[in-house]
Homo-oligomer: A and B are copies of this chain.
Amino acid sequence: MACSCSKSGGKCACSPGACTCPNCSKKSRDFTDFLKPATPTGPDILSKERGQSNVPIEELSKHLLSRNDFLTRQDRVLRVLINEPLFNKDKQQNLSRPERYHLGLARAKKLRRLSDQHGWDDEDHAMGQYLCDDVSPYMVHYAMFVTTIREQADEQQRAYWNPKIEAGDVMGCYAQTELGHGSNVKGIECEARWDPKTKEFILHSPTLTASKWWNGTMGRTANHAIVVAQLLVPKSAESSDYVSHGPHPFIVQIRDMKTHENMPGIAVGDIGPKYGYAPMDNGYMLFDHFRIPHSAMLSNYSRVDPNTCTYSKPANPAVVYGSLTYVRASIIMHARLIMARAVTIAVRYGCVRRQFQDRDSNDKHAPELSVLDYPTVQIRILPLLATAFALHYTGQAMQDLYAGTRAQIDRGDFSKLAVLHAQSSGLKSLCTELAANSIETCRRAMGGHGFGGGSGYIQLNNDYLSKPTVEGDNWMITQQTASYLIKRMASAVSSKSKPEDEVDEACRGWLKDEHNKNVPTLKVLRDDQAIVQAFHRRSRYLTYQAYVAREVKKHSWNSLLLQLRKVSHAESQSILVTNFFNALHSDQDQVSPTLQGHLATLFRLFAYYTMDAEARDFLKANAVSDADLDELPTLIQQLMSDIRPHAVRLVDSWKVPDFLLDSALGRSDGKVYEDLFNSAHRLNPLNEITFNPHYKSDEIVMGKGSDELQKILAKL
């Protein structure tokens, strides 16, 4: 049994004498119980780090995490979870994937029962999922099934389904992606053919590649599914000539409500182990001429008249893009928490870990340096710390923008939707890429222990790496942003009518004042405003190049894809820098001068680091001088030195609980080595078994003969 006492925020390091819980006192004691790590110890190091900085942690936490009561909610839900043995993470890395599903299902149920018990709202429940850190087998039910019913079902359908959902009887999933088609939704093969005689739809999978695939919650958990299928309707009730109306959603019962066995005519199951998502039952599903009633087609927007076979289209399909924008703003807000979590571990352990004395030091007995003192470690971690802030301000700005235009959208005014959608595509791509890469970058900067189970990076990485692909593949969706920008530049060049929106206006300004003009480069080393302008100028410049290649030189779209991605990233970087700058200079949300100073340093680090990586672009765009670009590496190193003493308090301010970090290296109390050793020596089930290592014997476990070999063979 793992120690599940609640010391140190639920993660007990079981130092002998310090921990007196029944579990720990049962453990056999040995000489290692009396050993301490070498000095300076982790706790001493971290308290020194915290003592040397003036970062106002509480002010900064409020600044970052007040929206929607995040902080108080986190505290409240954490207090509940930490006392439930089911949410103990100490030994879960030893579980097999099938066991992780069992555990995931048990936790999903428990979370929902806790919601009932404590009167949690949806956001509290989501916080529970976030802290539990499982990709829950119930996840798609909440995230997709319930929302699709709400948005796509008509009033009658909602009245029928909602009570069953609320009672917990109907557990649903969302089946769109197929074995052969993901990105190209229009290419899906599953068919829903209207049979005017029986007045039913016939769901059918004509090929193996038509199998639904990846759909979460479907593999083992759900008893219902929203199935997206090509709607085929006869030209008239008498015709045998079918017309395809493209993909439409249907609600389908897929398992028996009593036995939970698959419905006859449906093959459905779990697709097996994946990179991450161990507790989630991503599924496959095929239909063999499976009949569903007319009421199965979700009919808020489109419907088929059961008598005449007339098909009516949705009024305005753009509505869908509205919520996509909201989803993507949330993805950015989530990405910043992922980065904060990765960087919290890296900064704390980067201080605790010491390796080598200063090569130039004359003092032979000088203590070894914290690895975070080396520029080679700083350059991997501190720009990411700054990036977490950059993502924060843009995530907020996108949420605000969406909220601001929501009313317009509801009135049917979609004029701002195009820019919102274009921006959110590029930002989703860039921000999830930055966050996904940050985990592995931090992990590698931690030396050997980064590869160990105590790093806190393994599950984080394995789960998060889905993000660059889902909700629009990161490389693919940059086309949407670039395509929009090229259109606006074309409109600006033609200058026929009024500017269509702010981007069009910005393009016109650039064409008029900067393009082919002998304007001076921007003084980015002296002036933060100039940094923002330099990012704008470079984005306009690249947009114009792409416009010329496509619209003037008529290059093929596919031959331009790399250039288009570059345009999209440049625009997204420009947005990140602009929102960061605006937040620092906004009258709203005033911060203390001390905090303002730290945020300005982080702003510059993010901006210069981003600029340095793409220096040649800024030069070509006549945005920054060659001499100024040459200065950037030195400046970046200086800014990192400025931030270094404040790094621990800066990450502390993100308030990632130890329970969520689940990292020996990143523990807030610095007891890194105690925790690593405790996990190995006292919590590792493999150490309870004695093996027979001699190659001539096929006995695996000492004294068990060939039994264990047979057991393993049976599982292969």
Is A301 an interface residue when CB atoms closer than 8 A count as contact? no
Residues of B within 8 A of A450 (CB): 469
Residues of B within 8 A of A179 (CB): 37, 673, 676-677
Q: Is the CB of A673 within 8 A of B208?
A: yes
Residues of B within 8 A of A696 (CB): 109, 113, 168
Residues of B within 8 A of A113 (CB): 695-696
Q: Is the CB of B716 within 8 A of A86?
A: yes
Residues of B within 8 A of A454 (CB): 272
Bound-state Cα–Cα, A151 to B704, Å: 38
Q: Is the CB of A680 within 8 A of B271?
A: yes
Residues of B within 8 A of A444 (CB): 465, 468-469, 474
Is A9 an interface residue when CB atoms closer than 8 A count as contact? no
Bound-state Cα–Cα, A533 to B474, Å: 37
Closest to A373 in B: B558
Bound-state Cα–Cα, A458 to B276, Å: 9
Bound-state Cα–Cα, A427 to B79, Å: 50
Q: Is the CB of B102 within 8 A of A716?
A: no
Nearest CB on B from A619, distance (A): 8
Q: How many copies does the complex hold?
A: 2
Nearest CB on B from A205, distance (A): 7
Residues of B within 8 A of A205 (CB): 35
Bound-state Cα–Cα, A402 to B527, Å: 54
Is A143 an interface residue when CB atoms closer than 8 A count as contact? no
Segment of A59-67, A218-226, A510-518 engaged in the interface with chain B = A218-226
Is A709 an interface residue when CB atoms closer than 8 A count as contact? yes
Is A502 an interface residue when CB atoms closer than 8 A count as contact? no
Closest to A270 in B: B686
Residues of B within 8 A of A408 (CB): none
Closest to A566 in B: B633
Given A91-B715, A171-B693, is A558 in contact with B267 using a C-beta cutoff of 8 Å?
A: no
Residues of B within 8 A of A690 (CB): 220, 259-261
Closest to A220 in B: B691
Given A96-B96, A684-B270, is A709 in contact with B676 using a C-beta cutoff of 8 Å?
A: no
Contact with B along A452-478 (1 / 0, CB 8 A): 111101100000011011100111100
Q: Is the CB of B103 within 8 A of A712?
A: yes
Residues of B within 8 A of A702 (CB): 259-260
Bound-state Cα–Cα, A101 to B358, Å: 41
Contact with B along A250-276 (1 / 0, CB 8 A): 000000000111000101011111111
Q: How many A residues touch B, CB cutoff 8 Å?
A: 158
Given A376-B475, A559-B375, A686-B272, is A95 in contact with B715 using a C-beta cutoff of 8 Å?
A: yes
Nearest CB on B from A454, distance (A): 8
Is A242 an interface residue when CB atoms closer than 8 A count as contact? no
Q: Is the CB of A99 within 8 A of B96?
A: yes
Bound-state Cα–Cα, A676 to B182, Å: 15
Is A286 an interface residue when CB atoms closer than 8 A count as contact? yes
Nearest CB on B from A478, distance (A): 8
Is A687 an interface residue when CB atoms closer than 8 A count as contact? yes
Interface residues of A in 197-254 (CB under 8 A from B): 205, 207-211, 213-214, 219-223
Segment of A154-162, A183-191, A335-343 engaged in the interface with chain B = A183-191
Residues of B within 8 A of A102 (CB): 700-701, 708, 712
Q: Is the CB of B35 within 8 A of A208?
A: yes
Bound-state Cα–Cα, A105 to B698, Å: 9
Given A37-B207, A180-B673, A691-B221, is A686 in contact with B101 using a C-beta cutoff of 8 Å?
A: yes
Is A496 an interface residue when CB atoms closer than 8 A count as contact? no
Closest to A277 in B: B451
Given A1-B714, A444-B468, A561-B375, is A689 in contact with B220 using a C-beta cutoff of 8 Å?
A: yes
Residues of B within 8 A of A473 (CB): 447
Residues of B within 8 A of A94 (CB): 96-98, 272-273, 715
Beyond the given pairs A275-B453, A450-B469, 20 more chain A to chain B contacts, judged by CB atoms under 8 angstroms and listed by A's residue number, are A31-B265, A35-B207, A35-B211, A37-B179, A38-B180, A93-B272, A94-B715, A95-B712, A96-B99, A101-B686, A106-B700, A112-B695, A177-B448, A182-B355, A182-B447, A208-B677, A213-B448, A260-B702, A274-B453, A559-B637
Q: List 14 A-B contacts (CB under 8 A).
A: A31-B288, A35-B207, A35-B208, A95-B715, A106-B709, A182-B447, A184-B355, A220-B693, A270-B687, A272-B453, A273-B458, A444-B474, A448-B470, A451-B466
